[in-house]
Amino acid sequence: MNLEAKNILKNTFGFNQFRPQQEEIINAVIEGNDVMALLPTGGGKSICYQIPGLVRTGICIVISPLVALIKDQVNALKQKGIKATGITGGISYKDLDDILDNCIYGQYQFLYLSPERLQQSLVQERISKMRISLIAVDEAHCVSQWGGHDFRPAYRDINLLRTIHKEVPVIAVTATATKSVQLDIIDNLELQNAQIFKNSYLRPNISYLITNTTDKNSSYINFYKQHAGSSVTYVRSRKNAIAYSRLLTTNGISSGFFHGGLPNKVKVDTAKRWMMNQTQVMVATNAFGMGIDKPDVRTVTHLQLPDSIESYYQETGRAGRDGKESIAQFFYNINDINHAQNQFIKSLPTVENIKFVYRKLNNYLRIAMHEGENTTHQLSFSDFARTYSINGMMCYNALLTLDRFSVISLSQSYHRRSNIRFRESGKNIIDFLGNQKEMNAIVQAILRTYGSSTYQNLEINTSIIALRSNTSEQKVIETLQKLEEQEFIEANIIDADTQINFLEPRDDARTINRFSKELTKQNEVKKQKLEQMFYLVSQKQKCINVLILRYFGEESQPCGKCSVCKREAPQVLLLDKIKDVLIKQDLNSGDIASLLPQIDKNSLIETLRLLLEQGKVSLLQNHKYHWNG
Ligand SMILES: [Zn+2]
């Protein structure tokens, strides 16, 4: 056992003990082995590379797929006094240059970056000069097509780090990986004699309940009338997040909603109230959950189908982190399956769709053929989709796909910036607006936030003004437009919600052809994953726990507490009772019924029929049943 590792765990991270597997993983990495670690969410994945990164000499490179994750982890390390840095989008060339130099000469211990960044030659060239202690690949399932919607083509090029630094060990960590994903990880990251660590996917304290209901709303409300305690509800759309949260609230159950489109401040506030148990239920899209580790979540409910068993497993895994009994309740009906088929499968963008969207996007932003590389553009997503009559969902998926294949880099920015200039003094404008309360509040908020100098150019953030004046951003923009009409201000309003960086020059169809095969295959995988999810929810025979574990390549016994096991249980119980009385003597059905008065007559007859079919009992001439054993 490595004493230094244990000291770091205690002194730097503040834990007295390792969680299951952590210590073995950390030792294997410190000794210089290639490692693949499959740890369920909440299992303390990052420590598995952070501690070896601190023990081994040099800088640890961490590849991570999401900017938010990178920022979170870099900040957390900095707060512990560790020299860590991250390269995220929107960094200027000069800053990038500085950061990389610091990593060579500045005794940094961690460098976080996205796999796409690794493709830049400047980054590769500098990395070749660094003394690397360890290469850690977080969310390693992104390397595999079988990882479903998380697949990131750039993950496949991480192995170029192995060419640059042959001797450095690699650790790949992920929360969910099926057998084929595991093989893909080992293969693509070129792990040598990899030591594989795997925690069981069994969650013994979670009961998976799947209920087919025609009246979802009342089942949903009734559930919360019977189950107190912190909870998350997962839905698929922003609209539903709002609608179901409202449904709970009007029925006296406190709730908040969360989706990717909310301004950052609102997200933080909503999450905080829920974390502090001021609201019971968080109704959310899958945008909710990252970086959230609340131990006492008692129930997770689903009202719509997740797109894969991985997602379902991850979302239900928010429950019971403290190890106490918890429930994952799924309300579904046949409409959901139809809906998912229509919404999800039909909105998967085909190669033709993507070519279309890509060409239109270039036209819309006026980018000429063979131009546009490294340019940045603001886009109003809905305006773009409307201009070319493209289905919104499909359009969004097409842009995401272009992002995944490194054609563009997409970032959603809800902080809309506009430039304004006052042509009158603030006081005059306020006087003029008089009793137009809402507009008045907006102007006051602008004056309070940005000052009131006449004729000075002010860059204002409309979403902040909306928050401070307690109105909507749309209202702020309308107000600015009105003030401009009345010549109180000059305004240049940027109504964009999406920022796009073009990573390569426009080449229309040829740009897309490069990855058309992979795209088609990916769509196929996504369909299969959804079908496996259909199979799981419509299950009547096999234990849900057994099926989930089998999906991740584990065999197990029926759990005895999922909705399928519970449905079987009464009959099993009944069988045992009938056996107990018949084993002593032959009896007719009336005798059995009088010996087992608590049992319903119909289920008794039904069970006896079943026993006859199975040959466990036989019916004698005198109409008595005989136990054959
Ligand atoms: Zn079960």
Rounded Cα distance between 32 and 34, Å, is 7
pLDDT digits (tens, 9 = 90+) for 466-490: 888 888 777 888 888 888 888 888 8
Q: Where are the beta strands (DSSP E) in 240-311?
A: 255-258, 281-284, 297-302
Residues 221, 225, 226, 230: is their CA dihedral positive or negative?
positive
Q: Quick: pLDDT tens for 416-467.
A: 567 788 888 888 888 888 888 888 899 988 888 887 777 777 878 777 788 8
Question: Residue 374 burial by CB count (10 A; 0-12/13-18/19+): exposed, middle or buried?
Answer: exposed
Q: How many Å lie between the centroid of ligand 1 and the Cα of residue 547?
A: 9
Compute the average pLDDT of residues 163-173. Answer: 93
Every domain of the chain and the residues it spans: 3-198, 206-341+529-551, 351-514, 563-627
Radius of gyration of the CA atoms of the chain, in A: 30
**Ligand 1 centroid – CA 245 distance (Å):** 30
Q: How far is the CA of 353 from the centre of ligand 1 (A)?
A: 42
In angstroms, the CA 486 to CA 353 distance is: 44
Residue 500 phi, psi dihedral angles, 5° rounding: -125, 130
In 11-155, DSSP assigns E strands to: 35-38, 59-63, 84-87, 110-113, 132-137
CATH of domain 3-198: 3.40.50.300
Task: Tell how far the Cα of 521 is from the centroid of ligand 1, in angstroms.
Answer: 33
Q: Please state which of the ranges 65-74, 503-512, 532-541 shows the lowest mean pLDDT.
A: 65-74
pLDDT value, residue 258? 94
pLDDT at 400 > cutoff 70: yes
CA of 546 to the centre of ligand 1 (A): 7
Class of 206-341+529-551 in CATH: alpha beta
If one counts every other C-beta atom within 10 angstroms of the C-beta of residue 111, the result is: 25
- C-alpha 327 – ligand 1 centre gap (Å): 13
- Which of 112-126, 196-210, 401-415 is predicted with the least confidence, judged by mean pLDDT? 401-415
Residue 262, pLDDT score: 82
563-627: in CATH 3.30.750.24:
no
Name the range with the highest mean pLDDT among 286-290, 402-406, 529-533: 529-533
Ligand 1 centroid–CA 14 distance in Å is: 37
* Secondary structure of residue 589 in the 3-state scheme: helix
Ranges 94-98, 129-133, 276-280: which has the least confidence: 94-98
Distance 559 CA to ligand 1 centre (A): 4
CA 207 to centroid of ligand 1, rounded, Å: 8
**Both tokens assigned to 556:** 């197990």
Which of 62-76, 198-212, 400-414, 574-588 has the least mean pLDDT? 400-414
What does the pLDDT read at residue 1? Answer: 61
The four Cα atoms 553, 559, 563, 566 give a dihedral, to 10 degrees, of 150
- Phi, then psi, of 133 in degrees rounded to 5: -90, -35
Is residue 90 scored above 70 in pLDDT? no
Instruction: Read off the pLDDT of residues 302-328 as tens digits, 9 standing for 90 and up.
Output: 999 998 998 999 899 999 988 899 999
pLDDT number for residue 496: 67
This prediction's pTM: 0.70
Ligand 1 mean position to 52 CA, how many Å? Answer: 39
The predicted pLDDT at position 480 comes to 86
CA of 178 to the centre of ligand 1 (A): 20
Do 3-198 and 563-627 share a fold?
no
